[in-house]
Amino acid sequence: MALVARRELRTRLRTRSFVISTAVSLIVLAGFVLAQSTVFDGDRITTVGLNGQANAIADAVTDAAGLDYQVRTVEVTDLTQARDQVADGSLDVLVSGAPAELTVLTRGDLDPDLHNVLNGIVQRQVLAGLLASVEDLDANAVLGTVSGSHVRVSTLDTDDPNHDQRLALALVMVALLYVSLLLHGSMVAQGVVEEKSSRVVELLLATVRPWHLLSGKVVGLGLVGLIQLATVGLVGLALALLTGVLTIPGAAAGTLAWGVLWYLLGYLLYATVFATAGSLVSRQEDVQAVLMPVTAVLVAAFVLGFAVLSGNPAGPTATVLSLLPPLSPILMPGRIALAAVPLWQVGLAVLFTVVAVVALARLGGVVYRNAVLHTGPRLRLRDTLR
């Protein structure tokens, strides 16, 4: 088995198709990340509403250094209406109160740079007040008072402020897993048919058992897919973090790690089925027809993944679907990326998938052994099990 796996690994890594597909994947992913970075770093304008005495800081906010976006200030008189504007996105930030005691309201997390600017304004106002009111200053007391002065921040949303980034991670991982499983699973089936049609399999079976030949082919092509997925994932992750498109490195690295695990489980599941299906035919013209049912399941998992993750990834529908072995390799890593799944569900999904892999491997071994030397018309599955 190891000999066959090494042969498949060396052969596939040197093929032009592997190099081209990897390069295209990297270019597409890099283009997507850079496009997102351009959008985020473009002419971004943050609208800050100032109420009452807070209008005195308008110039200090708009002229602040260290912000990589424009700030536009507007005067608001009705706090209730202003809160509604924050809720619907018309205002990004609402600032009220005296300059030395500013209160900030946002819908989500306050931008760290703007937070620092507002803290600096508060501290300068506190310092100015102390200098104006006291002649004999205690330097330590002044420093303590100033450094302890901060803007008070409250948010309207109680949801995860990083939800959008997590959703993007989940959807990208679902897409990568779908493409990898479909591509390398199909390669297993095509490899089986190529060996049958060229009679190479007869020579191989003279020295290798059918089960070892099948296992070696699955493992070898699986390693090719793993190398490609890891390469694309690591490059994409590095670009996203360097350009600031992603600001949650821990969650991003965890998503990639879980993606690799579920790729391995999903590949073993689907590659076994693809190889079994491929052994039923002897001509390349018949491959697509025999693979159609398996491909349809993968497509369904991909479509359901986008629908479920964009909707309610923690709901009962998502929970049930992600526990089904044919769907788990696509849905479960997406739910994990969104932090919408308890650990026991992950463990249960892994267990179910492993059991399914073992059962399908046993079935596939029987079918492959009985069908791999068959030439001519397409075999029916039940005929290979007799």
- CA-to-CA separations, 373 to 72, 280, 307, in angstroms, rounded: 74, 10, 42
Element (H, E) at 103: strand 103-106
What's the alpha-carbon Rg for the chain, to the nearest Å? Answer: 29
Question: Which DSSP category does 188 fall into?
Answer: H
Q: Domain extents for the chain?
A: 2-37+162-384, 45-155
Number of Cβ atoms within 10 Å of the Cβ of 25? 20
Which CATH code of 3.40.190.10, 3.40.50.880, 3.20.20.70, 3.40.50.300 fits the domain covering 45-155? 3.40.190.10
Give the angle subtended at the CA of 364 by the CAs of 363 and 365, to the nearest 5°.
90
Q: What is the pLDDT tens value at each position of the chain, 386 positions in all?
A: 676 677 777 777 778 878 888 888 888 888 877 776 665 554 567 888 888 888 888 888 787 755 666 788 888 888 888 888 888 878 888 888 887 778 888 877 777 778 788 887 777 776 666 666 655 555 455 555 556 566 667 666 555 667 778 888 899 899 999 999 999 888 888 887 777 666 666 666 667 676 677 778 788 888 888 998 899 889 888 888 888 778 788 888 999 999 999 999 999 999 999 988 888 887 777 778 888 999 999 999 999 988 888 888 888 999 999 999 999 999 999 999 987 789 999 999 999 999 999 999 888 888 877 776 666 667 676 766 66
- Identify which of 85, 86, 46 has the alpha carbon closest to the alpha carbon of residue 64: 46
Q: The sheet that has 93-96: what strands, in order across it? A: 70-76, 45-51, 93-96, 103-106, 152-155
Number of Cβ atoms within 10 Å of the Cβ of 284? 11
Tokens linked to 282: 């002897």
C-alpha–C-alpha distance, residues 166 and 249, integer Å: 11
* Whole-structure pTM value: 0.72
Amino acid at 201: V
Placement of tokens 């270019």 in the chain? 27
C-alpha–C-alpha distance, residues 220 and 226, integer Å: 10
**Is residue 156 within 8 Å of residue 87, measured between CB atoms?**
yes
C-alpha–C-alpha distance, residues 252 and 33, integer Å: 14
